[in-house]
A and B are shown apart, each in its own frame.
Chain A
């Protein structure tokens, strides 16, 4: 008979066996990767990385450090993000094997994995004892952006999420607060928590300042507008498809409301906002021309002047608003986890193990913490420990609030739509945003877009796509709960 004491002994014994039997690397995945990679010293691995600031991480920091630790050279192939998917697919289809490791946007993963372009990482993860550290990645990224059909194809490596930035000095200005109360009969919400409040506050600031400071500006350029639409559409209660029929429902009332509201907002936003992308929006905010905006995490760092003294950051306008910026989740409470990056291994690589060890090292708790703090880097916190790191929280006076906003966003964020041939659906959305700025009717645009989505689904196969959509829609970040 097994007594409770026996169970205790068994438990203790099992614990000891587990502890003693654990390989040394279990304590530190970065060190484990380094030790294992030394066998490949003298070799070169090639990694695809987004061109520009993003690639300064492997070029200036992680690449040279990896070489120093393991003797393995890292060749960085810089590719503009718009061409990354094409380059990866071309390399795979041609069988050239030019790339060993890859940066992959999570919404591409079903396409790349189903095509066979990505190597399943489970055997490597188990071999090098990385599962424990993977579990410490923030749940949104870990649970939603790592696997396809139950297999790991990418290590979530970038906590991309939209954050709302607002000028505390403007929103707390007594004159503006009084004007708001006079007009709407309620206190000005700091920060606005829904789109109705946001629009009221934004329009009022433009009105009171006479355009000296505009209430807000946004990404309106179609490439970015795609993400903004996906976020706001779902915050307004929209669903992309009827799950039973796979008929597109982006032309629902929610979709039309988003487009109609955008047109109304443009009237009190800076002139020409329809053309604004990342840089235009950034410049206006840092120069104090706008009181509120929504963007990726780097805006918050640069607004606080963190890292902008670096030579490579000379193109970023000097911030005139450091110390005057508040951070919040976007109106509606469910920000877009827009884009982001995972680290993957190419299925055609001839150095898969070396490539995996490099990405494990990059992604490990200790090394990734250094990487998200690089002043010039664009990798954003994505591990629980990043959000609570005292070193990060001390980087500028409001950094703690910034990290909290990022963590809140990660907890409630919405995934980019991810289906088979996602880019075809996204291209229709981009075209729709572009048509909106050319003066076409919102409802007509979205009806046409829905018809195009249906045609794409038909071509791919309704049942095939339905299964992929069902899988995506079942994820915690697909729709607001």
Chain B
């Protein structure tokens, strides 16, 4: 008769415990620590680090510059996201069919996404330069006279400039994802609709869109979150100027944290952003039907 070995029922937990502990350490600890910091008075220039409780959160509500930066962020997101989506979709349709040099063109189109955003922003700043930049020069050829558009400081031009850069860099991301999604749409269904005389819009609305929606929704969500956190391109182009007219929430947080050294207040801003993004994500995931 052999004795039955009863393994320790908790043994499996011991096995995963180090990994969980490590994850908590590097993931949860900073989060909790920054939450605690947001209730304190820490700034780099002062020795008083006592608890301020809700002072920083109350300050958030009175800080008009913060709410303006949030509005700027939402504006950029609201304009750039639909443009990127529509352009990406159009390009994906264009490259869906086989054509000579297709792979080469796709590779070239994707290049902007692999450039660091800060480098892209700095490059566009040079392109937009009013003296040496080619953009004003090209516009001048069309206008028949020198064009001195101040792209990065004129309040009416600065948003188009930022959104143009953003769209230039991230439309290829939409394009790639949507191209992959469109490639997986069942061709027999679209061909059947075509034979039945359905127009493009109806075919897209009732056959293609439902098929690509889960992928498209994820792409919208990812780009939406990215746009909400936009920093590099705006920083390189305008540093939030003129004045604070293009200051986004990330730039404002950076300025408060690393230029003004308001550590606790910056932590409070960070938690405001976490809160907003969590609400938006949960709403979007439900609304888009990503979770059954």
Q: Contact residues of A with B, CB < 8 Å?
A: 86, 89-90, 93, 111, 115, 222, 270-272, 274-275, 280, 420-421, 423-424, 427, 431, 434-435, 437-440
Q: How far is the CB of A338 from chain B (nearest CB, A)?
A: 19
Measured as residues with beta carbon below 8 angstroms from the partner, the interface class of chain B is 20 to 34
Binds A, one of B109-117, B172-180, B256-264: B256-264
Query: A271 and B130: CB pair below 8 A?
Result: yes
Bound CA–CA A353/B155 (angstroms): 53
Query: A438 and B153: CB pair below 8 A?
Result: yes
Q: How far is the CB of A187 from chain B (nearest CB, A)?
A: 34
Query: B259 and A437: CB pair below 8 A?
Result: no
Query: B259 and A438: CB pair below 8 A?
Result: no
What residues of chain A lie closer than 8 Å to B148, measured between beta carbons? 271-272
What residues of chain B lie closer than 8 Å to A424, measured between beta carbons? 260
- The closest CB in chain A to the CB of B257 belongs to A86
Q: How far is the CB of A212 from chain B (nearest CB, A)?
A: 14
Total CB contacts across the A-B interface at under 8 A: 60
What residues of chain A lie closer than 8 Å to B146, measured between beta carbons? 271
Query: A431 and B243: CB pair below 8 A?
Result: yes
Q: A274-B150, A434-B153 are in contact. List 15 more A-B contacts (CB 8 A).
A: A115-B44, A272-B131, A274-B153, A275-B153, A421-B45, A423-B260, A427-B259, A427-B260, A431-B241, A431-B243, A434-B242, A435-B242, A435-B244, A438-B155, A438-B245
Bound CA–CA A200/B261 (angstroms): 43
Query: B259 and A423: CB pair below 8 A?
Result: yes
**Cβ-based interface call for B171 (8 A):** no
Query: A440 and B258: CB pair below 8 A?
Result: no
What residues of chain B lie closer than 8 Å to A272, measured between beta carbons? 130-131, 148, 150
Q: Which of B222-256 contact A (CB under 8 A)?
A: 241-245, 255
What residues of chain A lie closer than 8 Å to B155, measured between beta carbons? 438-439
What residues of chain B lie closer than 8 Å to A274, measured between beta carbons? 150, 153
Query: A275 and B152: CB pair below 8 A?
Result: yes
Query: B45 and A437: CB pair below 8 A?
Result: no
Q: How far is the CB of A217 from chain B (nearest CB, A)?
A: 11
- The closest CB in chain B to the CB of A435 belongs to B243
Q: How far is the CB of A275 from chain B (nearest CB, A)?
A: 6
Bound CA–CA A437/B241 (angstroms): 10
Q: How far is the CB of B225 from chain A (nearest CB, A)?
A: 27
- Scoring A222, A423, A435, A438 by chain B CB atoms within 10 A of each residue's CB, the highest score goes to A438
What residues of chain A lie closer than 8 Å to B153, measured between beta carbons? 274-275, 434, 437-438
Q: Mark B109-140, 1 if CB is under 8 A from A, else 0.
A: 00000000000000000000111000000000
What residues of chain A lie closer than 8 Å to B245, measured between beta carbons? 438
Bound CA–CA A275/B239 (angstroms): 12
Q: Which of B259-273 contact A (CB under 8 A)?
A: 259-261
What residues of chain B lie closer than 8 Å to A440, measured between beta carbons? 243
Question: Lowest 8 A-B CB distances belong to which pairs?
Answer: A438-B242, A435-B243, A272-B130, A271-B148, A434-B241, A438-B155, A434-B242, A434-B243
Interchain Cβ contacts under 8 Å between A and B, 29 examples: A86-B261, A90-B44, A93-B44, A111-B45, A115-B44, A115-B45, A271-B130, A272-B131, A272-B148, A274-B150, A275-B129, A275-B130, A275-B150, A275-B153, A423-B259, A424-B260, A427-B259, A431-B241, A431-B244, A434-B241, A434-B244, A435-B244, A437-B241, A438-B153, A438-B154, A438-B155, A438-B242, A438-B243, A438-B245
What residues of chain A lie closer than 8 Å to B45, measured between beta carbons? 89, 111, 115, 420-421
- The closest CB in chain A to the CB of B148 belongs to A271
Query: B131 and A89: CB pair below 8 A?
Result: no
- The closest CB in chain B to the CB of A423 belongs to B259
What residues of chain B lie closer than 8 Å to A435, measured between beta carbons? 242-244
Bound CA–CA A298/B85 (angstroms): 50
Bound CA–CA A420/B154 (angstroms): 34
Q: Mark B171-193, 1 if CB is under 8 A from A, else 0.
A: 00000000000000000000000
Q: How far is the CB of B184 from chain A (nearest CB, A)?
A: 47
What residues of chain A lie closer than 8 Å to B131, measured between beta carbons? 270, 272, 280
What residues of chain A lie closer than 8 Å to B244, measured between beta carbons? 431, 434-435
What residues of chain B lie closer than 8 Å to A86, measured between beta carbons? 258-259, 261
- The closest CB in chain A to the CB of B158 belongs to A438
What residues of chain B lie closer than 8 Å to A431, measured between beta carbons? 241, 243-244
What residues of chain A lie closer than 8 Å to B130, measured between beta carbons? 271-272, 275
Bound CA–CA A280/B259 (angstroms): 25
- The closest CB in chain B to the CB of A90 belongs to B44
Q: How far is the CB of A460 from chain B (nearest CB, A)?
A: 8
What residues of chain A lie closer than 8 Å to B150, measured between beta carbons? 272, 274-275, 437
What residues of chain B lie closer than 8 Å to A270, measured between beta carbons? 131
Q: Mark B133-168, 1 if CB is under 8 A from A, else 0.
A: 000000000000010101011110000000000000
Q: How far is the CB of B261 from chain A (nearest CB, A)?
A: 7
What residues of chain A lie closer than 8 Å to B259, measured between beta carbons? 86, 423, 427
Bound CA–CA A115/B148 (angstroms): 47
- The closest CB in chain B to the CB of A89 belongs to B44
- The closest CB in chain A to the CB of B258 belongs to A86
A89/B260 contact (C-beta < 8 A), A275-B150, A440-B243 known = no
